[in-house]
Chains A and B, each alone.
Chain A
Amino acid sequence: MTNNLHLGDFTSNASNSVTIPKYYGDALVKLGHEIPEIVVLTGDLSPATECDLFRDIFPDRFFTAGIAEANMVGISAGMARSGDIPFVHTFSVFLSRRSLDQIAMQVAYPNLNVKLCGFLPGLTTLLGVSHQAIEDNAIMRSLPNMALVEPCGARQIESAVRAASAYEGPVYLRLHRPSKPMSPAEKLLPLEIGKGQLIIEGTDAIIFAMGHMVDISIDAAKSLLPHGIKVAVANIHSLKPLDTNFILENSKLASVVVTAENHSIIGGLGSAVAEVCMDHAVLPNKFLRIGLNNTFSSIVGSQHYLRAQFEIDHNAIVSSVKKLFNL
């Protein structure tokens, strides 16, 4: 009998997955060496949030709060008030839903240097509706002082962690474990809080995307090219502060503006882009928000299956953009 069976993380069926490096955990350890003020808290989810790597290197700076997220946020506030830089780990739902009051009053209002690291955003889990954070961006974005960062994949995780730790003030770091390792050809992407990033140029339409919807949007843009539609793709890794000028300039160039997010279409990226465009009277001919359409997920399945069911996958983007061009 083996006693070496490792914990799974429920982002996918273990039988389907190859070994994927812990990009976030590795980045956190690197920063732990560089910045002695960094401390780590976990709500009984160290392996799934990859902070087990930090635990093993820096046991004196690692604290278990147990399954008590509201208290954990308060503890982190006390530590930040004492000069530490706490990184708080749990799933996104348990930060945004369960601990909102504590985050608002003990972290955001006093503008403390706490990094709230939420995993399993949107539909990236097999664990069902209780674990799917579909409105976390709407909630976190509405809190004064809170910055909101989501890297677009493995190639941007380290720069996201670096940017969050260098930022003075509270940051909600929306993280998901990549479903495949980086390919050798992939290059690391920088990340600057408050800046947008144009990944692909295109003159007919632009997709503003967040998180893993960036790669899906890039693939969709490639699929649309043979149909004669040149689609630009932008990575909005910083939902707040939002790069308003970037969004306005790029929206002016395209007649069709699309947003793609692993989140409800209410209150997140789509809403933010619409607000900016309306505020500045930049009115695209057509505007489309791709995301969960005011619904909880009531379907069981893998993230790939769920994205197809809720029409936030590659095929959905291709067909809906074609429709906007009457194709």
Chain B
Amino acid sequence: MSNETNRISIEELKRNALEIRKNVVRMVARNGQGYVQQGLGAADIFTYLYFSEAQLDPKDSSWLERDRIFLSTAHNSALFHATLAQRGIISPESLLSYTNDGSALEINVSERLGSIVEATCGSLGQALSVAAGVSLTAKRHEKSYRSYVILGDGELQEGQTWEAAMFAASHHLNNLCLIIDLNSLQVEGHTDKVLKMEPIDKKFEAFGWNTIMVDGHNFSDLRDAFTSASNEIKKPTVLIAKTLVGKGCLSLEGQLSHNMILPQNVAIRALEELGERYD
């Protein structure tokens, strides 16, 4: 596949992220509840990864040399599907069927959607292990594709995450990149109130990872961070990406609500804040 994705401008990235955010609000609003806050929060990370970083063929999601993206936060599915549609991997019309009876687009994404979903997660903390297995085999067979994992910060509470972190460093998986969506939100509220995890960067450094703190809404910073990951010759890389839940919709920003109720009037206001006009 071409590298033309990597030349996409920051303006283009912003334009795509905005369209994706609008679809996140629309998809969740149709259900009246869902993971709108996480979707808005991680939209810039997803946009950068799918539009600028990962080598993908939108017309052939099972292309053997593709980079593998693992969505450990499988519930962040409004954002996931909206990103795929914006990238041309699934049709924009299919978003209308999100969570409908018999739809391929479900709340916790699974590989029923095809190989664009590299592993069925949802049971938290499992993706990093599978991605490490893919990266290990890729290195052994001298394949150039890389593995990316989008992990929720709450998943750092799962022991398996740290088993996998130890394994990846021990086996020098420099073709593995973990992106932690540090949005401080889990079901019971702020992560600090549920189970303190800081200092996350020092933990990963101690585990032998190339550790980078990054503003998850700054495309220029994200580009630098992903470049550092690609240039790393020995260690796996973790990007600890600070994000704001509800980002882009002023009335929703910072509201720590996991599976948020989203009434029509709130959704309309959110869309207006994203620049959508209603006559």
Chain A residues lying within 8 Å of B121, measured Cβ to Cβ, are: 105
Q: Is the CB of A74 within 8 A of B136?
A: no
Q: Is the CB of B131 within 8 A of A68?
A: no
Known contacts: A81-B119, A105-B122, A110-B119. The answer to whether A74 contacts B140 by CB under 8 A is: no
Is A149 an interface residue, CB under 8 A from the partner?
A: no
Which of A66, A77, A101 is in CB contact (< 8 Å) with B133?
A77
A residues 56-94 in Cβ contact with B at 8 Å? 60, 63, 65-66, 68, 70-84
Is B137 an interface residue, CB under 8 A from the partner?
A: yes
B-contact 0/1 string along A36-74, CB 8 Å cutoff = 000000000000000000000000100101101011111
B residues 143-199 in Cβ contact with A at 8 Å? 159-160, 163-164, 166-167, 170-171
Is B141 an interface residue, CB under 8 A from the partner?
A: yes
Is B224 an interface residue, CB under 8 A from the partner?
A: no
Q: Is the CB of A75 within 8 A of B132?
A: yes
Query: What is the distance, in angstroms, from A161's C-beta to the closest C-beta of chain B?
Result: 22
Known contacts: A65-B167, A68-B167, A79-B136. The answer to whether A74 contacts B120 by CB under 8 A is: no
A residues 270-313 in Cβ contact with B at 8 Å? none
Which of A74, A81, A82 is in CB contact (< 8 Å) with B164?
A74
Query: What is the distance, in angstroms, from A263's C-beta to the closest C-beta of chain B?
Result: 27
Which of B111, B140, B166 is in CB contact (< 8 Å) with A66?
B166
Q: Is the CB of A71 within 8 A of B160?
A: yes
B-contact 0/1 string along A11-36, CB 8 Å cutoff = 00000000000000000000000000
Which of B118, B135, B137, B163 is in CB contact (< 8 Å) with A71?
B163
Is B200 an interface residue, CB under 8 A from the partner?
A: no
Chain B residues lying within 8 Å of A72, measured Cβ to Cβ, are: 129
Q: Is the CB of A81 within 8 A of B140?
A: no
Q: Is the CB of A74 within 8 A of B130?
A: yes
Query: What is the distance, in angstroms, from A151's C-beta to the closest C-beta of chain B?
Result: 28
Cα distance A71–B162 in the bound complex, in angstroms: 9
Cα distance A68–B167 in the bound complex, in angstroms: 9
Q: Chain B interface mostly helix, strand, loop or mixed?
A: helix
Q: Is the CB of A78 within 8 A of B137?
A: yes
Which of A68, A70, A74 is in CB contact (< 8 Å) with B166?
A68
Chain B residues lying within 8 Å of A10, measured Cβ to Cβ, are: none
Q: Is the CB of A82 within 8 A of B163?
A: no
Known contacts: A68-B163, A74-B164, A105-B120. The answer to whether A63 contacts B136 by CB under 8 A is: yes
Q: Which size bracket describes the interface of A in this complex? A: 20 to 34
Q: Is the CB of B120 within 8 A of A82?
A: no
Q: Is the CB of B123 within 8 A of A81?
A: no
Chain A residues lying within 8 Å of B136, measured Cβ to Cβ, are: 63, 75, 78-79
Chain B residues lying within 8 Å of A82, measured Cβ to Cβ, are: 133-134, 137-138, 141
Chain A residues lying within 8 Å of B118, measured Cβ to Cβ, are: 81
Q: Is the CB of A78 within 8 A of B163?
A: no
Is A325 an interface residue, CB under 8 A from the partner?
A: no
Query: What is the distance, in angstroms, from B107's C-beta to the closest C-beta of chain A?
Result: 16
Query: What is the distance, in angstroms, from A262's C-beta to the closest C-beta of chain B?
Result: 30
Is B55 an interface residue, CB under 8 A from the partner?
A: no
Chain A residues lying within 8 Å of B76, measured Cβ to Cβ, are: none
Cα distance A102–B123 in the bound complex, in angstroms: 9
Query: What is the distance, in angstroms, from A15's C-beta to the closest C-beta of chain B?
Result: 37
Query: What is the distance, in angstroms, from B152's C-beta to the closest C-beta of chain A?
Result: 17
Query: What is the distance, in angstroms, from B89's C-beta to the closest C-beta of chain A?
Result: 19
Cα distance A294–B164 in the bound complex, in angstroms: 36
Is A320 an interface residue, CB under 8 A from the partner?
A: no
Chain A residues lying within 8 Å of B133, measured Cβ to Cβ, are: 74-82
Is B38 an interface residue, CB under 8 A from the partner?
A: no
Q: Is the CB of B141 within 8 A of A78?
A: no
Is B210 an interface residue, CB under 8 A from the partner?
A: no
Cα distance A83–B143 in the bound complex, in angstroms: 12
Q: Is the CB of B126 within 8 A of A78?
A: no
Chain B residues lying within 8 Å of A83, measured Cβ to Cβ, are: 137, 141
Query: What is the distance, in angstroms, from B71's C-beta to the closest C-beta of chain A?
Result: 14
Q: Is the CB of B129 within 8 A of A102?
A: yes
Query: What is the distance, in angstroms, from A28's C-beta to the closest C-beta of chain B?
Result: 19
Interface centre among A68, A73, A75 (most CB of B within 10 A): A75
Interface of B toward A, CB cutoff 8 Å: 110-111, 118-123, 126, 128-138, 140-141, 159-160, 163-164, 166-167, 170-171
Interface of A toward B, CB cutoff 8 Å: 60, 63, 65-66, 68, 70-84, 101-102, 105-106, 109-110
22 residue pairs of the A-B complex, CB under 8 angstroms, read A60-B140, A65-B167, A66-B163, A68-B160, A68-B163, A71-B167, A73-B129, A74-B130, A74-B164, A75-B129, A75-B164, A75-B167, A80-B133, A81-B118, A82-B138, A101-B126, A102-B126, A105-B123, A106-B119, A106-B120, A106-B130, A109-B110
